[in-house]
Amino acid sequence: MEKDIQELTNYCLNCASKPCSQKGCPLDNDIPTFIKYTKEGEFEQAYQTLIQTTVLGSVCGRICPHQKQCQGSCVRGFKNEPVSIGEIEAFIFDKAFEEKYDRSIKKENVLANKKVAIVGGGPSGLTCSAFLARKGAKVTIYEKYDVLGGILSHGIPDFRLDKKILNKTITSILNLGIEVKYGKELGRNLQLADLQKQYDAVFLAFGANISRKMEIEGEELEGVFGGNALLELQNHPDYENKIVAVSGGGNVAMDCARTIKRLGAKKVMVIYRRSKEEMPAEEKEIMEAKEDGVEFLFQNNIVKILGNKKVEHIECVKTKLIEKEGAKRKIPIDIDGSNYILDVDYVVMAVGANVETDILNTQHLPSTERKYLEVGQNYRVGDTNIFAGGDLIGTTSTVAWAARDGREAARAIEEYIN
């Protein structure tokens, strides 16, 4: 294994301009330096380099969309394959677990006697907690479930992320001296105003995991599910001999389709209104879904769900893609007269997710036009002692971006409470 990894590191050019770090990696991990140490067999040094900027290396190394992040900017990738940055990062963090490297980073104690509450124990909340605890703050995470990890634990299926690896990561973070209060849900048995009084600062990171609706006829029929809820609550129906249509083209669509196929559905179709090239899911994920037997209908769109009480058919339409000034991606337009009907038993909507707006309203939190929590500069909510980050504020929805918010908000909180 070590030999294979060192071979991967030999391929890195150790570019002085570090595009992989500076343009590609949301966490600004010092990639050339940790790869150089790995190449030299200095694994602990490689690890110490990485933990300056991340506490989630074993997770990010495995599930970041590398092609869209670090590896997408790798100079090697312009002509050939990029360096396998994710694989090397995961190796180093796994090695740190095995060898029990010192994970603490010297505590600076600049925040001794300061108390911070974190609401939500996903990638953003965990990262913020770790960076504050390293500064000596007394950190308490309030989490609505009895497990931490957020979507990493109750969204991403086990076949993509081994929960043993996740649990080791979480334990190593909690060992920094972080307290957790499980079963505490903001808006239900936890009120923001109370936290504001008890703590010097509060960091909100409760995500955005309410499935968006497609706003089409038939969405209320029995057998229509929200993709996020399906993965979060695992309330799957019996799929034996059933045909399932999954609408969407991102992580949630891929994870739903693959999970449902593995749970025994006869046929699973991912229906996506743009082409494969525009799909937010990575090429690797599409390939793996195909290997699982998932079928893809690109440039098709569900326009109606039909049935008597429960789903029986869907009406689809073919689309064409047009360029539009100012638009980042091509726009799908329905082709007149191309409508057709498919027999299906279930429909899964995986077309994006929203913040739970009730919480924003009841806790008197401001929202943006797109209904995310509104923060100002430095992740701060107005002139309060509340800070927020991750999916909740509408950051690019990946683990590394959510973690970046957590780390940067920790810096802002330190500045604020000192």
How far does CA 306 lie from the centroid of its chain? 33
Residue with tokens 């090239």: 277
Q: Which residues of 58-97 are buried (b: 16+ CB within 10 A; e: fewer)?
A: bbbbbbbbbbebbbbbbebbeeeebbbbbebbbbbbbbbb
Query: Three-class SS of residue 140?
Result: strand
How many residues make up the chain in this entry? 418
* Cα R_g (the chain), whole angstroms: 22
Q: Which does 151 bind (CB under 5 to 8 A by kind): ligand SF4, ligand FAD, none?
A: ligand FAD
Residues in region 236-275 near ligand FAD by CB under 6 A: 251-252, 255
Q: Which does 187 bind (CB under 5 to 8 A by kind): ligand SF4, ligand FAD, none?
A: ligand FAD
By beta-carbon proximity to ligand SF4, the closer residue of 12 and 133 is: 12
Q: Does 402 bind ligand FAD (CB under 6 A)?
A: yes
Q: Which does 86 bind (CB under 5 to 8 A by kind): ligand SF4, ligand FAD, none?
A: none
Among 12, 27, 64, 417, binds ligand FAD (CB under 6 A): 64
**Calpha distance 414→418 (Å, rounded):** 6
Closest contact distance (angstroms) between CB of 13 and ligand SF4 is 4
By beta-carbon proximity to ligand FAD, the closer residue of 192 and 317 is: 192
Residues in region 96-135 near ligand FAD by CB under 6 A: 119-125
Region binding ligand SF4 by CB under 6 A among candidate stretches 70-78, 103-111, 212-220, 385-393: 70-78
Among 186, 224, 314, 317, binds ligand FAD (CB under 6 A): 186
How far does CA 341 lie from the centroid of its chain? 34
Q: How many residues bind ligand SF4 (CB under 6 A)?
A: 15
Q: Would you say the C-alpha torsion 60, 65, 67, 73 has a positive or negative sign?
A: negative
In single-letter form, the type of residue at position 58 comes to S
Residue with tokens 């991990």: 29
353-354 and 210-211 strand pairing: antiparallel
Among 101, 131, 206, 372, binds ligand FAD (CB under 6 A): 206
Residue with tokens 């045909």: 243
Among 2, 7, 10, 13, binds ligand SF4 (CB under 6 A): 13
Q: Which of 104, 61, 105 is nearest to 84 (CA)?
A: 61
Q: Does 75 bind ligand SF4 (CB under 6 A)?
A: yes
Closest contact distance (angstroms) between CB of 56 and ligand FAD is 10
How far does CA 261 lie from the centroid of its chain? 22
Query: Which residues make up the interface to ligand SF4 (CB under 6 A)?
Result: 12-15, 18-20, 31-32, 35, 74-76, 83, 85
